Amino acid sequence: EDLVCFRDIRPGAPHHYLVVPVEHMGNCKTLKTEHIPIVKRMMEVGKAVLQRNNFSDLNDIRMGFHWPPFCSISHLHLHVLAPASQLGFLSRLVYRINSYWFIT
């Protein structure tokens, strides 16, 4: 009810989804302690969508947010990528764990 999930238009992995709150939220810099439950639900939805699409190795996934100013839109969206082991060279840079531009 409060989240939507859809495929990324420029996938960085065989499975690349965005989980987005229906209610407008800014980027990940605007998150506060009270947003922890919705971020957890976003992660649960991402995992559920992977499983519904026949991807079951949840140890081989990457989830995270682009850190401003590296966001393409100013609405919170969680990237869900799988399998992380199959990310190409450019995707490994763009979705690099806890980098200056992508946080997990």
Catalytic residues: 77
d(CA 29, CA 99): 14
CA 34 vs CA 31, 40, 63, 74, 89: distances in Å: 8, 11, 20, 20, 36
